[in-house]
Each structure stands twice: as structure tokens, then as C-alpha cells.
Amino acid sequence: MAHYIRVYTTLLHMNFSLLLAYRGNFINSLISSLGWAIFSIVMVYLLTERAPVVYGWTRNDFFIFTGVYNVFVGIFHLLFSRNFGRFSEVIHFGYLDSLLIKPIDSQFLLSFWHIDYTSIFRIILGGVFTAYMLSLNNTPITFSLFILFLFLGCISLILLYSIWYIMVTLMIWFTNLSNLTGLLYDITSLARYPQDIFQKAPTVLFVILFPLTLVITLPVNVLLHRGSMQHIVFFVFISFALFVISRIFWQFALRFYTSASS
């Protein structure tokens, strides 16, 4: 465990140096990151101007939901997005060879090699906005509620990471599936709205998307004192189950990795 912490600390320093070296990329990423955050807030403002309650969600609830979504997505982009984005390249050009021969778990290296520091600004913006809206809403937040919210946030992160990792593992067989990460971004964006929005979706579609729709909805429901224990237990179970499946599937897929004469 200490070994992994040391390696991750080195990766943090390495990525910070890259950030300072490529300032143009930093500016582009920052504009994009903050742009999407601001757009999501403006979108909710416009939509709820004349539709103040949607399936039991008031305008302030929507704002809190959007703030939490931005924090969550910010953390996901900070830790994982760039790594998933380069999966196709790593596998297609055989760079995976150099990771497999290292005395460290390959899934760890692939998942944590790059860190997108610009997402920190999105996290701060989302966090401040959420805190502001909670105070405006007069929502009482106890310490235990906050800890439960953080716990569910971590579970959401594990769920999303596992779904992404299972999908990108398919690139071992289909190395040129560069559009797969784009598709995953679009599917993840379903979590941008409360689960109740998708009530009218066909049952098959709703069942497939159900875990994704809970990613933000469940932690926010807990924050707004509307959490269901049944959903929480199901959510924790499915997250850990998918994480275990992602590990097993990755180890299975590596048997079929054929390199690229690196």
C-alpha cells in the first residue's frame, strides 16, 4: 500500500510539471471545464424559470443537484478521464507492454497515470455553488449526513469507474474503438439530471441506465433528507460488484493482449 502511495505521489508531481510545461493545453482545458460547469448551471436556470417543479424537484433542488454533479464530474475528470481517453492509443500502439512488465498492478497504472489538474477549478466552482444553494434552501446539514453524503459520493465514483473500465477493456479486442470513450461521456451525462426525469423511458432502457441515473441522484437525495435505505444498500452492492467484475474482466482480457512489436 505504501508503495502505491509513493508511486501515486510521483505521478502527481510528474503531472504538475507537465501542466506547467504545456500552458496552452492548461488554458484550453480550463476554458472547457469551467465552460461546461457554467453552462450546466445556466441551463438549469433557464429551464426552471417557467417550470419551477419537475417530478417533485424544485428549482433550488435542481441547482443543488447541478452543483453536486459538477463536483462529482470534476473529481472523475481529475482522476480518470485522461487515462481512459488514452486507452485506445496505449493498447493499439503496444505501450501497454511497458506497463505490464512493471512490478505494480497494471490497472492501477492505466487508471491513475494522468491527472487533470484543471478540473480542480470545476470542483471548487461546483462545491461553492452547492454550499451557497444549500444555505439559500435552509437545508440543515449534520455531520453524520455529510459523512454519509461523502461515502455515497465515493461509491458513485467507484460505480462510474467500474462501468468505464469494463467498457474500455473491450479495446483489448477492438483496438481502434476511439469513439468508445466519447460514447461513455455521453452515457455518463445522463447522470446530469435526476433519475425521475427518465420515468417515461421504456422499461428496458430504464433498467439498463438505472445504476447510472443513481450516481448523483442518490447522494443528493440523502443531502436533501430524501434518501431511501433500500436504494443505498442496492447502490453500494452494485458498485462493489461492478468493481470486482472490472478487475476480473481486465485480468481475463490481458490473456488476449497481443502487443504491437514494441
Partner 1 sequence: MMYRLNFVMWRIRVVVQVLTVYFLWLAIFPEHGELFGYTQSSILTYTLGVVILTSFIFASRSGEIGEEINKGEISKYLVKPINYLLYQFARDMGDKVMNILFMLIEIMLIMIFLHPPFLIQSNPLLLLFTIFSVCIAIFINYCINVLLGFMGFWTPEVWAPRFIYFIIQNFFTGFLFPLDILPSGVTYGLSLLPFPYLLYFPLKIYLGQLSAFEILMGFTVSLLWCMGLFYLVHIFWLKGLRTYGAEGQ
Question: Which segment (45-53, 75-83, 237-245, 254-262) binds partner 1 by CB under 8 A?
Answer: 45-53
- Compose the 64-83 pattern: x for residues touching partner 1 by CB under 8 A, - for all others: --------------------
| Residue 178 makes contact with partner 1 by CB under 8 A | yes
Report the nearest approach of partner 1 to the CB of residue 196 (Å): 7
| Residue 182 makes contact with partner 1 by CB under 8 A | yes
Q: Which is nearer to partner 1, 91 or 155 (CB)?
A: 91
Report the nearest approach of partner 1 to the CB of residue 8 (Å): 28
Question: Which segment (114-122, 145-153, 179-187, 223-231) binds partner 1 by CB under 8 A?
Answer: 179-187
Phi-psi category of residue 115: left, alpha or beta, with phi > 0 → left and psi -120 to 50 → alpha: beta
| Residue 52 makes contact with partner 1 by CB under 8 A | no
| Residue 190 makes contact with partner 1 by CB under 8 A | yes
| Residue 35 makes contact with partner 1 by CB under 8 A | yes
**Binder among 63, 193, 235, 249 for partner 1 (CB under 8 A):** 193
Q: Which is nearer to partner 1, 9 or 196 (CB)?
A: 196
- Bridge partners of 45? none
Q: Which is nearer to partner 1, 8 or 174 (CB)?
A: 174
Question: Residue type for 262, please?
Answer: S
Q: Residue 18, class by beta-carbon neighbours within 10 Å (0-12 exposed, 13-18 middle, 19+ buried)? A: middle
Q: Residue 5, class by beta-carbon neighbours within 10 Å (0-12 exposed, 13-18 middle, 19+ buried)? A: exposed
Question: Which segment (20-28, 79-87, 115-123, 228-236) binds partner 1 by CB under 8 A?
Answer: 20-28
Long-range contacts of 28-33 (CB under 8 A, 24+ apart): 29/116, 29/118, 30/118, 30/121, 33/74, 33/77, 33/118, 33/119, 33/121, 33/122
Contacting positions for partner 1 (CB under 8 A): 24-25, 28, 31-32, 35-36, 39, 43, 46-47, 50-51, 54-55, 174-180, 182-183, 186-187, 189-190, 192-193, 196-202, 205
